[in-house]
Amino acid sequence: MLIGRSVLLGVSGGIAAYKAAEIIRCLVKLEAAVQVVMTENATRFITPLTLQALSGQPVCTNLFDLDIESKIGHIQAARAAHLVVLAPATANLIAKMAAGIADDYLTTVLLATTAPVLICPAMNTRMYENPVTRRNLDSLRALGHHVLEPAEGSLACGEEGQGRLADTEDIVETAHRLLTPPTLKGRRVLVSAGPTWEPFDPVRFIGNPSTGKMGYALATVAARRSAEVCLVSGPSSLPEPLGVDVRRVVTALQMRDVICEMAPRMDAVIMAAAVSDYRPADVAPQKLKKFTDDLTVPLARNPDILADLGRSRGDSPYPVLAGFAAETENIVDNAKEKLEYKNLDFIVANNLTQAGSGFGCDTNQVKIIDRKGRITELPCLTKEAVAEFVLDRIERFIRKRAEHERP
């Protein structure tokens, strides 16, 4: 959603101004066009040359620059922006915005733009908690601006508290969401992700190499489209997607309990977790010792969570059910069998033996198969791009079923 979009990054004069360099780098990597506007005080913390080199465009700082302003540059910049991101936004800049003051390049652009504005405050905790600053932020929210709350932690002044500029990843993700049409607004989507670990003593378990990347990408993309998202995650080291309700579990039985309890309230369930098919029949209360060379662990079958959902749904159109089939042979035939057996709307199949596909990869190459046997084969894409295709399919099912429900 950022490819070809114009993002105006406003940088004001706080110590966090140095983080603008990383924000620009991330936006440019996502192929956004970044126009940087700096206040005079911001140039005392980081040079315009640095940000110009990263953005690939001249940095606007002087409202009376004869070259840039020969064509009323501040108005052009305001018109061209699809999104304005203010990072860092100091208490001074926030106060000026709330009062409608336009005495420099950045504040003039802010009065002229009609693009969404994302304010990322960064300041001392006491300044942030000051009733005047809180009032100003409330006023800006009431005007339709968006505020990404600052993080808590160590501040430049040596104090601890809320006031640090939000993490770059969160700023970029919020920008993504503000530029993504809210096509799933009002819809609830449940996604499962990661492996399950099935212990046979307190320190050992049976598991698989799943990292959760595909499921986390699905949850992220659904949230970008303004869905209310619940992510049921097995053990994973991935950061929690911004604004997503994450429920952490370890075993297949725990995952089953959470998903089956929540699924009836969902518009769609996407089962991307690599759930262990078996678990140890008995769990030793203490660590098993190496008394013999061989160890036999009796296994019990785990429930098939998605098949249970399919059976309980019956002929009902809700929730929309989608599953993943990770296979090593007979990919299409095995996936179709799972599709029918589990009563799914569609299934996403991938070959674990194929390069760039499967556990731990940042990419995936999949085939999407529906109940009529139609196959959509995708090239090797990032898992986030695959998630876009899957969510497009989810949206189509929800849209068609909503049309049938109309009187």
Catalytic residues: 157
Q: 132-152: b or e for each residue (b if 16 or more CB lie within 10 Å)? A: ebeebbeebeeeebbbbebee
Residue 227 to residue 266: CA distance in whole angstroms: 11
Side-chain-side CA neighbours of 135 within 13 Å: the count stands at: 6
Coil, helix or strand for 229? strand
Measured CA to CA, the distance from residue 323 to residue 396 in angstroms comes to 16
| Rounded CA separation 353/213 (Å) | 18
Tokens of 291: 């008394």
Please check whether residue 238 is in contact with residue 199, taking contact to mean a CB–CB distance below 8 angstroms. no
Q: For residue 117, what are the β-bridge partners? A: 84
Cα–Cα distance for residue pair 213/359, rounded to 1 Å: 8
Measured distance CA(45)–CA(122) in Å, rounded: 14
Contact (CB, 8 A) for 211 and 244: no
Strands of the sheet containing 33-38, edge to edge, are 33-38, 6-11, 83-89, 117-121, 146-147
d(CA 24, CA 51): 8
Percent helix, strand and coil across the chain, each rounded to 5? 35, 25, 40
- Residues 391 and 224 sit within 8 Å (Cβ to Cβ): no
